[in-house]
Amino acid sequence: EAQVTQNPRYLITVTGKKLTVTCSQNMNHEYMSWYRQDPGLGLRQIYYSMNVEVTDKGDVPEGYKVSRKEKRNFPLILESPSPNQTSLYFCASIGRYEQFFGPGTRLTVL
């Protein structure tokens, strides 16, 4: 079954404590992306990756890092989380035209 998995699904943390949200896909897609979703703002692209070792900034990259060492994995790293990064995060794996979204990670930064 085509799938995008994210972990953890829920996370409450404190300001400044580094965290990583993992994302994995089983569709052999080259293109993957991270979004955050906030009320009234919709999905905003944080970072994307066109292939292994190729990443680029989206519209809201500040405060985030990514890496793409393997095709199937695309982790999102928050080196020093702040309360304004409290949001719902989605990873997407992009086929020819369709995006396959993960189930989401709800992050709260206190």
Partner 1 sequence: SQKIEQNSEALNIQEGKTATLTCNYTNYSPAYLQWYRQDPGRGPVFLLLIRENEKEKRKERLKVTFDTTLKQSLFHITASQPADSATYLCGGNYGQNFVFGPGTRLSVLP
Give residues in contact with partner 1 (CB under 8 A).
4, 33, 35, 40-45, 48, 50, 56, 58-59, 90, 97-104
Residue 64 phi, psi dihedral angles, 5° rounding: -125, 155
Q: How many Cβ atoms sit within 10 Å of the Cβ of residue 5?
A: 14
Measured from the CB of residue 17, what is the shortest distance to partner 1 in angstroms? 25
Give bridge partners of residue 48 from the DSSP assignment. Answer: 33, 56
| Closest separation in Å from C-beta 45 to partner 1 | 6
If the CB atoms of residues 65 and 101 are measured against partner 1, the closer one turns out to be: 101
Residues pairing with 55 in the sheet: 49
Structure tokens at 66: 């990514």
Q: Tell me the closest approach of the beta carbon of residue 70 to partner 1, in angstroms.
A: 20
